[in-house]
Structures are given as C-alpha cells and as structure tokens.
Structure 1
C-alpha cells in the first residue's frame, strides 16, 4: 500500500533541497573567494619582487661605483685642470702662453673622451647611460672649442681672454652637457636610495617646488637635497669646480647658523645665488662638515662623499 506524502512533507523536502543548494553554493563561493585572495596576494608579492629587482639591477651601488670611476672621474680630472688653467689665465695671464695652455686643454679633453668612450653602462640603467653620453658630448665640445679658440687666443688681450671663453657658445654648450650629466648621475643616486629605504624618501614630494622654502628644504633627506641642487645648477648654468654636496652643506650652514634668517632669506634659490655669487663654496666643503648633519644618512659608497679629491 502506497503512502502518499503530506503537504508538510513536500515543504520539508523543498527546504532541505534549498539548504543543500545553499551549502554547496557557499562552499564553491568560498573556494572562489579564497582563490582570488591567494592570487591577489601572489600578484602583490610578485609585483614587489619585480619592483625590487628593477631597483637592484638598474641602480644598485656597484653600477654607481663603476660609473664614478670609469666615467665621472675622468671628466672630473679634466674639469679640475680646466678651472686651474682658467684661474691661471686670469691671475698670471701676462706670464703665460694662453694659446699653448688652451691647446693642452683641447688635447686633455680629447684624451679623456677616448678613455670614457670605451666604457659602457647596462641598458637597465638608462639614466647612467644618458649621463655617459652627455659627459662624452661635453668632452667632445670642450676639445673642439678649445682647438678652434687657439688662434683667437693669440690675437686677444690676455685680460679679456677668460671672459671671452666664458661667453663662447661652444664652451657654454659643453658646460651645459656636463651639468645635465651631473644631474642624471645624482638622479640615479636617488633611485638607488629608494631601493634601500622601506618608506618613501623624506622630502621627495618637494622636489618640484620652485622656489623651495627653507622649511621644506629642512625636511629633505641628503640625496633628495643633492638632486634638487643639481637641478638648480643646471637651470642657472652653475658650472663650478666643486660638487653639489659642497653647495648643499653651505646652504645648511647658513640656515643652522641663523645667517639666512638675519639676511631675510626664505628660499633655497636665494641662498644658492648668494653662496655662488660670493664665491663662498669650496671643493670638499662637504667632507669637512658632513658629520654635523649627515652622519646617520644612507649615502652610497662613492669617494666624493667620503674623501677629498
């Protein structure tokens, strides 16, 4: 004898079926959600690894050191002789043979070009590659401009020779390429700094500010300050015998000593113009005073940060 299900039995069966469907749906939804979260976490870790790898392979310290010794230093050696000879022309011009001096400068620039052109930077370091190219352009122009200037030097009064060299378009362009290369080198140092710091570099948000208030300058880390100084030097065509960090420490000294406040100076640009214009900055000023402000900073192991040139 067949027993027919009652209305309540049907309702109960339907409820059980819906409950089972809900459990199965929740189970598969949980699997899907868990899978998505795991994939998202894996992608996040992968992205971080890629970013880290880019930093380590593109602007690690070994590349900076290599660039310093094989490209920057040969140019710096030429630059040092350039400023010595320009100073000699101004001070001892009557006892010198300016044409012969300029001829030797042309030969030296050419020799340094031959040294630097054989070097290379990896394609994963585009800023260092560009700095390399610009130092080469600078040396090439210095050599060619000096060579063509020899005949002018013979027919020019010694007391105006240095100023005429300063106004020469080819020498100006040579200096501009050198300043561009300098900025790219220091920009690379900032990229290295980003790979060794967990948090964002202090003051990085202020780099684009022009003019830059001294209050914001005081919040920047050392490498960011240097980056900012190289931009000012490029913009104002400050081709000088000292390094950006030498100008940097001069700015800090003016602020810390209260001189900037007494002079009613409120921006980095104003202080820079005063220090450069008065000749108050000297090569290796940073070496003499770095421990006062930057003993705990993360600085790459490059000789011009730690020893005199």
Structure 2
C-alpha cells in the first residue's frame, strides 16, 4: 500500500513539475512575443514619423522645378506689369488701351504656360503657391480688361489711382504675395531638412527686434520678409532676399543704430519708402554677408551670367 502510494505520489509530482515547466515556458514565450510586437510597433511608428518628416520637406529639385515651371513664368508677367506702372509714373510711356490689352494677353499666355506642365504637388506649400500665382494671373487679366476704358483719354496719374483701386488688381496683388510667401516657406522647409537648427516653419507676428533678426539664418530672414511683404499687400520689383540684404547692410554700416531703428519693420519701411531696395541687390551683397549661408541653388540666388 505504501509502495503504491509512493509511486502515485511520484507520478503526481512529476506531472505537476511538467505542467509547471510548460506554464513557465509559455509565460516567457508570451512575454518575448509581446515585447517583440511592442518593439515592432514602436519601430513602425518611428519609421512613419521619420517618413512624414522627410516627405514634408522639399528637395532642392522640387524648388528648382517650381522655379522654372511656375515662378519664372509668373515673374515674367509680374515684371512687365510693374514696368508698365513704373513707366507711367515716370511719364516715360504713353498710356494706351493697347498697353493693357498686351498685359491681358500676357497673363493668359503665362497661365497656359504654367498649366502646360503637370502639377507635381497636389497639396502643401508649393501646391498652394502655384494655385495663388494662377489665380493672380486671372485677377490681373480681369483688371486689365476692365480698366481699358479708363485708360482712354485719362492721365497716367488718374489712371494709376483707378487701376490700383480695382478689386481684381488688389486681389491679384495679394495672391501674388501669398504665392511668394508660400514659395519661400518651402525654401525654409528645405533648409530645415539640411540643418536641424533651422526651423521648418516660422511666421512674422508682432514687431521683430533687429537683434533677434540679426541672429537668424538667411532662409529665416527671407521668409520673415516674405511675411512682411504679404501683410503689406503691395507688389514690388525686388524679391525678399533683396530686402533682407538691404536690412543687414543697414545694420552692418551702423546706420540702423544711428537712425535709432530698432525693428525689422522700421528698417524695412525706411528702405522701401526711400527706394533704397532694388531687384538684384542681393547678388552684390551675398559674397560679403552670406558666403557661409545655406541656400538652395536657385537662379535668383546666383549672380546673372555675363
């Protein structure tokens, strides 16, 4: 009897130990699988976050392609329009309905030129910029056609006042500056992807001190100037980098301090109001002030050939 009980107890004990070993093994296997799955999910999230960051930044090729297919055609129209206004102001051209007809035709031509190239970006800053430039061309086209009658028999001064009060002229100007602002925002996004110290987004809010301005990279300065120009709503022949360079030159020369200019806004107002900023000024300033700055290889950041 004792012998039978001992054998039974031994079998029971061995069975219990076996079940315990299986349970412990299953537990640790579950822990390992759970940990592995958790790590996999964590890595997947990291990859998704990394991918999102990468896709949100624009490549240099994106910026160059946009320059040639959208910005440059629009800029050609804008330059002709601003030249018309400048010549009328200086009395170096005679006001005529034909002048406005040519500009309306040019707006149509440049719109077709931009639309002829497939839109590479369906959303984001470059897509918004393209849409703004196209809409701006439509508005200037409408303004030119509407103001043809005002041009007949009117003096240049009166005509320009009437033209600049036109609703499509105002909207076209605003959209032009919005398009420019978004393009420079895309440049900032690109710069951030090449240098983590540069923010991917920034917006001018409130008054910016020249001390804060001076410590910013050039791509940030250009975006802040694009913001400033957009808020003012007035098109200019010069580009943001031209005004950025003029502000930095004013600071470097000591004139900003001598004139008691403490903010970006006050410096920009003085420079713009006195006609001290011209298109292409950046090219002369760049070698001296910005030789170490990171910029995309876009034609308007480079000196003209010849």
Establish whether TM, by shorter chain, passes 0.5: yes
Cα separation, partners in 2 of 1:264 and 1:176, compared to 1, 3 Å:
same
Q: Which stretch has the larger CA shift, 259-268 or 39-48?
A: 39-48
Quick one: distance in 2 between partners of 1:147 and 1:212? 41
Matched with 2:68 is 69
Quick one: distance in 2 between partners of 1:282 and 1:134? 24
Please tell me whether residue 221 in structure 1 is matched to residue 217 in structure 2: yes
Quick one: distance in 1 between partners of 2:30 and 2:290? 55
Please tell me whether residue 258 in structure 1 is matched to residue 259 in structure 2: no
Please tell me whether residue 81 in structure 1 is matched to residue 77 in structure 2: no
CA distances 1:38-95 after superposition (whole Å, capped 9, x unpaired): 4365235413441344146xx22212111111111011111111122212212236x6
Matched with 2:182 is 184
- Aligned with 2:99 (options 101, 113, 126): 101
Gaps of 5+ in 2: 4-20
Q: Is the 8 A contact 1:67 1:121 kept in 2?
A: no
Matched with 1:92 is 91
Cα separation, partners in 2 of 1:52 and 1:205, compared to 1, 3 Å:
closer
Please tell me whether residue 195 in structure 1 is matched to residue 193 in structure 2: yes
Q: Is the 8 A contact 1:68 1:302 kept in 2?
A: yes
Quick one: distance in 1 between partners of 2:64 and 2:104? 28
- How many residues align? The count is 294
Cα separation, partners in 2 of 1:206 and 1:123, compared to 1, 3 Å:
closer
Please tell me whether residue 281 in structure 1 is matched to residue 277 in structure 2: yes
Find the residue that maps to 2:91 and give its secondary structure. helix
Quick one: distance in 1 between partners of 2:207 and 2:109? 40
Quick one: distance in 2 between partners of 1:221 and 1:125? 27
Quick one: distance in 1 between partners of 2:192 and 2:56? 8
Deviation at 1:36, TM superposition (A): 6.6
Q: Which stretch has the larger CA shift, 37-46 or 254-263?
A: 37-46
Quick one: distance in 2 between partners of 1:205 and 1:122? 22
Q: Is the 8 A contact 2:207 2:264 kept in 1?
A: yes
Find the residue that maps to 1:265 and give its secondary structure. coil
Cα separation, partners in 2 of 1:44 and 1:298, compared to 1, 3 Å:
farther
Quick one: distance in 1 between partners of 2:140 and 2:197? 39
Quick one: distance in 2 between partners of 1:293 and 1:2? 101
Quick one: distance in 2 between partners of 1:262 and 1:126? 42
Matched with 1:162 is 160
Q: TM-score, normalised by structure 2?
A: 0.84
Q: Supply the RMSD in Å over aligned alpha carbons.
A: 3.0
Find the residue that maps to 2:90 and give its secondary structure. helix
Quick one: distance in 2 between partners of 1:185 and 1:210? 22
Quick one: distance in 1 between partners of 2:273 and 2:187? 27
Matched with 1:111 is 109
Q: Which stretch has the larger CA shift, 174-183 or 160-169?
A: 160-169
Matched with 2:231 is 235
Cα separation, partners in 2 of 1:269 and 1:168, compared to 1, 3 Å:
same
CA distances 1:177-204 after superposition (whole Å, capped 9, x unpaired): 111111111111111222222x2416x7
Deviation at 1:28, TM superposition (A): 6.3
Q: Is the 8 A contact 1:246 1:283 kept in 2?
A: yes
Please tell me whether residue 247 in structure 1 is matched to residue 243 in structure 2: yes
CA distances 1:201-221 after superposition (whole Å, capped 9, x unpaired): 16x787444111112112211
Q: TM-score, normalised by structure 1?
A: 0.83
Quick one: distance in 2 between partners of 1:235 and 1:308? 30
Cα separation, partners in 2 of 1:263 and 1:33, compared to 1, 3 Å:
farther
